[in-house]
Amino acid sequence: MGIVYLGYDPVIERSVAIKTMNAEAFEEEEQKQRFLREARSAGAMQHPNIVTIYEMGMEGDTPYIAMEYVEGQDLTQLIKKGEPESLKEKLAIMAQLCDALDFAHSKEVIHRD
């Protein structure tokens, strides 16, 4: 649904992830409402395994969500590389994932990405 860029907040001197949506797609009411719901839902959650949403806004005609930047590879990249190797590490990752999903579901938020 969107493209994520690495940005920098010079005021508080931190890297941020900026998710944008194509302006043309944002004109479609269903897509606009989905993007807004995503920002509101994620913004209401505070959990160590869920990225923090800092703000949502518009830059010209482009809507954006500014969020916590987490450095490193995503789970898909790690799996493709055959990492982690040990069962203990795999189970630890799965436990964190399940904990985050359980928390989101308790807030009636469904993960879609």
Which residue numbers are catalytic? 113
Query: Which residues are CB-neighbours of 97 under 8 A, at least 6 positions away?
Result: 49, 75
What is the chain's Cα-based Rg? 16
Q: If you count DSSP H runs as helices and E runs as strands, how many of each does the chain have, helices first?
A: 4, 4
Q: Where are the alpha helices (DSSP H) in 20-86?
A: 23-26, 29-43, 75-80
Burial environment of residue 35 by CB neighbours within 10 A (0 to 12, 13 to 18, 19 or more): buried
